[in-house]
Structure 1
């Protein structure tokens, strides 16, 4: 790390995708030392902002300034499965030179490659140990590690590089409880500038401040997530009070304008009657009528101006109240009678060696599938979904099922959202597809955006819409880490929808709070076979070092 002042800043930063879709506009923000949690609704531009700060995207306007070296961990991490661990860590050339020197080769280029870093292997193993990856050898390939381990492996590379600024985008996705605890320790001990985008409340409790990206601007809140929620709730309560007061003022101004119009109408009728009955001379009556019309115009204009001002104050007050758009998940009617066979596995062994044995699902069961990273949860779900053949045994799905993979790779990046969803339901009309997409916040032109330009949360919504509109409707849902890319409002909505679902569920997740909210009827731990467990036992087992 450098010893110069470290910071990140943007000046009038703007960014739009090649199709013209705007993401950020005239954003000016500065981040100094400490841990910052960057939060905001899906699609607000959090991941895009991190990519701009990391230099992976070029702004369409404005500028990004960084003082110090920047390290970036992307949300959708893809590593070449053929590369070795030491290559990912960036120490392969130094290791090769070190081994050559140890073998007796005194070539100058070997000493130049090593430099002063003679303990590079020891440092690498220490970092791997710190992240719970001590059992992974430096000569293994990425294809031999799990998705969660590959995230930690990339983080280990960043820790070895020791950048001044660390940018993390949803780093706890796919991590089990033990791996998450390791990452939490790393975040808490980070000495420089750290910005993390996450929906993980436990992680956000470990930051110094919250930066809330909302409607194109950033609001700052001191303290962790809980302090931010309290402050935001107080702000919203005050904003709602202001709205109520502004609404009352509008109603009062309307009444006063109406009353003024009634009074002025009466005065005009009185003046007209006096003229017709010749109560006063014609010249006087004309003067009074003219004066009354001028007075009426001024009076009416004054009240109309007051009403317009009251309405403007109301509009400003309403804008201060957040009305977060949430997905409206309406699952099809897919009830499964109690006792009805749904899924049957007989003496199954997975392709990667994990033994499952017998496994049966009946009726509207809700099964939580949990286990350490690399235990085979995703492989089991893919086998049940028919994407993989078991190495041994038989699998029989007795009802229509749908599988939501954690990598969200069901959709074609080159096609629009509406085109992708239509592929899953060829008999549905275009209007039916768009109506379903509107419930997932893809309205109008948003439904015509290419999937490749979507944020992680938007991609999740599009994938879920495609599965639920598919024919036939699913009576068994297989979900693999479904909350990974969702903001907290969407997680709440998804939880409510799954709670109302009458079919069978098998959910693989490391988020025990989310699983407990689903009314799970059976907890299964995949660890050298499937065995029953409980949330209490899981917290102990998954947080224990092997």
Structure 2
């Protein structure tokens, strides 16, 4: 019965921005999808659970051993596979024991883990890392020989080797091809403890036992799959929209009645003044009637004012229930290319991992490059960039290593657009949700979703405007609303696109015109 519990959990950023204030919740057992818009605090909550951050107040309880697969993994490309798996020391001790050169400390290091290499190889094979699973000697390989998707799977193997009772996963399907995703789904289905998955992969979320929505610092739990959660939210939103319509109608009605009452009162006042001026009744009687009329008029006017205020309050309460999530707005420059205009021309180019590739892209073609993890898709994109496209271009790399980490978001964007007015840059950054002080945040402090938004801003605001976009897994870390806006923007782009993505729905919606699969023999269309 592994669970995660929060009691009065309170946390703020160093600048005082609140993230959670008095959060109380219990999650688990089972598989739980953690959803929410970019910036809602999903990764922050996982880091709090993992102990990377400490709460300002309150407590977090985890029953059993904890495993945590971070969004950025925090790995160095120079690390070996066994170092990532956390078994390098045990392996070295085992090898000394087998060679007869062991010290007493080596037996203490190994303990009961005599089969650690075999377990690691078996798990690697289970998740499709076949060439790493072929032999224990392959555990000596360095990370810079692996693709982004293979690195994610390797990080998951490292967590599973520790036999956790509670497993935290932050965007675990980023960079994974379809086969790898299916293997990940199978592993999670068979996991016996509690899994908390933060992500936007609809298929993965549809396999959850429950959905936990993080919104405005509050956690709300929905039993059932993601589609059930969407259904409940849509029903609530339809109810909110109806309530808003009714409340607006009531405000109009009460405002109209207030105006009509004021007109009636003005008429009575003028009539009374006229009677007083004509002195048709004794002065004392007319004065009493005037005071009585003023009291009655005041009560009537206040009564209608109260009704207007009550109607406006009901409208405000109804509007609070209607979701108005922040979302990026992407306006791509008019960068029309004409049919036949040469964009890319590669002839018999040999990639580092073996395939020989020829590729021509002309005019506003939209090319999707697919292939298994490790096939060399990212390597191909880098080679295209190195060869030099024939038109202005920009590339969004998979690892998002495009920043001067010590500079702010604004400074990074401004460096690529030296002639742009500062106010124009800040205005455009606001469309990527970097408003006010957020634009002055150091790049090193950005979360995964923020890094992607900042990288997109750098890409699309650069000078000259790109006529070719080279995108390596552009949908990673984007919430569903922002993904929709990016999709619409790319669908309207008039230049050429070369996109590596495992999201088939995304590729279909941006209007891909060519598909090419990268294999060990080369590109196959």
TM norm structure 1: 0.92
The equivalent of 2:335 in structure 1 is 334
Which has the larger displacement, 517-526 or 440-449? 440-449
Which has the larger displacement, 336-345 or 414-423? 414-423
Alignment partner of 1:41 is 2:37: yes
The equivalent of 2:229 in structure 1 is 228
Q: Distance in 1 between matches of 2:313 and 2:522?
A: 62
Q: Is 2:391–2:467's contact at 8 Å kept on the other side of the alignment?
A: yes
Q: Distance in 1 between matches of 2:152 and 2:513?
A: 31
Q: Distance in 1 between matches of 2:484 and 2:111?
A: 53
Alignment partner of 1:438 is 2:430: yes
Q: Is 1:344–1:396's contact at 8 Å kept on the other side of the alignment?
A: no
Alignment partner of 1:121 is 2:117: yes
Structure 1 residues not aligned, in runs of 5+: 387-394, 534-546
Q: Distance in 1 between matches of 2:446 and 2:388?
A: 35
Q: Distance in 2 between matches of 1:230 and 1:263?
A: 50
Query: In the TM superposition, what whole-angstrom CA distance separates every residue of 1:277-323 from its partner, at most 9, and x where no partner exists?
Result: 22222111111111111111111111111211111111111010001
The 1:451/1:27 distance shift into structure 2, 3 A limit, reads farther
Which has the larger displacement, 7-16 or 165-174? 7-16
SS at match of 2:184: helix
The equivalent of 2:55 in structure 1 is 59
Deviation at 1:20, TM superposition (A): 3.3
Deviation at 1:107, TM superposition (A): 5.0
Matches within 5 A, 1:282-431: 282-356=283-357, 358-386=358-386, 395-431=387-423
The equivalent of 1:88 in structure 2 is 84
Deviation at 1:105, TM superposition (A): 5.4
SS at match of 1:243: helix
Query: In the TM superposition, what whole-angstrom CA distance separates every residue of 1:383-426 from its partner, at most 9, and x where no partner exists?
Result: 2223xxxxxxxx34211011011212212232222222111111
Q: Is 1:187–1:206's contact at 8 Å kept on the other side of the alignment?
A: no
SS at match of 1:63: strand
Query: In the TM superposition, what whole-angstrom CA distance separates every residue of 1:91-123 from its partner, at most 9, and x where no partner exists?
Result: 233333333333345754343333333322222
Q: 2:469 aligns with which of 445, 466, 477?
A: 477
Q: Is 2:148–2:398's contact at 8 Å kept on the other side of the alignment?
A: no
Q: Is 1:370–1:525's contact at 8 Å kept on the other side of the alignment?
A: yes
Q: Distance in 2 between matches of 1:207 and 1:109?
A: 44
Q: Distance in 2 between matches of 1:451 and 1:141?
A: 27
The equivalent of 1:262 in structure 2 is 263
The equivalent of 1:536 in structure 2 is none
Q: Distance in 2 between matches of 1:121 and 1:212?
A: 39
Deviation at 1:532, TM superposition (A): 3.6
Query: In the TM superposition, what whole-angstrom CA distance separates every residue of 1:478-524 from its partner, at most 9, and x where no partner exists?
Result: 00000001001111111100010000000011111111111111101
Q: Distance in 2 between matches of 1:89 and 1:444?
A: 41
SS at match of 1:231: helix
Which has the larger displacement, 459-468 or 189-198? 459-468
Q: Distance in 2 between matches of 1:378 and 1:218?
A: 37
Query: In the TM superposition, what whole-angstrom CA distance separates every residue of 1:65-85 from its partner, at most 9, and x where no partner exists?
Result: 222211100001232333332
Q: Distance in 2 between matches of 1:123 and 1:291?
A: 93
SS at match of 1:90: coil
The 1:350/1:442 distance shift into structure 2, 3 A limit, reads same
The equivalent of 2:190 in structure 1 is 189
Q: Distance in 1 between matches of 2:83 and 2:458?
A: 38
Query: In the TM superposition, what whole-angstrom CA distance separates every residue of 1:41-88 from its partner, at most 9, and x where no partner exists?
Result: 101111111111110112233322222211100001232333332232
SS at match of 1:279: coil
The 1:118/1:454 distance shift into structure 2, 3 A limit, reads closer
Which has the larger displacement, 15-24 or 175-184? 15-24
Which has the larger displacement, 295-304 or 135-144? 135-144
The equivalent of 2:207 in structure 1 is 206
Q: Is 2:516–2:523's contact at 8 Å kept on the other side of the alignment?
A: yes
Q: Is 1:17–1:453's contact at 8 Å kept on the other side of the alignment?
A: no
Q: Is 2:518–2:524's contact at 8 Å kept on the other side of the alignment?
A: no
Deviation at 1:265, TM superposition (A): 1.4
SS at match of 1:385: helix
SS at match of 2:45: helix
Q: Is 2:244–2:319's contact at 8 Å kept on the other side of the alignment?
A: yes
The equivalent of 1:15 in structure 2 is 11
The 1:142/1:446 distance shift into structure 2, 3 A limit, reads closer
The equivalent of 2:511 in structure 1 is 519
SS at match of 2:168: strand
Q: Is 1:366–1:521's contact at 8 Å kept on the other side of the alignment?
A: yes
Q: Distance in 2 between matches of 1:441 and 1:103?
A: 59
Which has the larger displacement, 507-516 or 98-107? 98-107
The equivalent of 2:135 in structure 1 is none
Q: Is 1:212–1:220's contact at 8 Å kept on the other side of the alignment?
A: yes
The 1:83/1:415 distance shift into structure 2, 3 A limit, reads closer
Q: Distance in 2 between matches of 1:20 and 1:410?
A: 29
Alignment partner of 1:493 is 2:485: yes
Provide the alpha-carbon RMSD of the alignment: 1.7
Alignment partner of 1:31 is 2:27: yes
Q: Is 1:40–1:213's contact at 8 Å kept on the other side of the alignment?
A: yes
The equivalent of 1:151 in structure 2 is 152
Q: Distance in 1 between matches of 2:445 and 2:140?
A: 36
Which has the larger displacement, 451-460 or 483-492? 451-460
Q: Is 2:25–2:219's contact at 8 Å kept on the other side of the alignment?
A: yes
SS at match of 2:327: coil
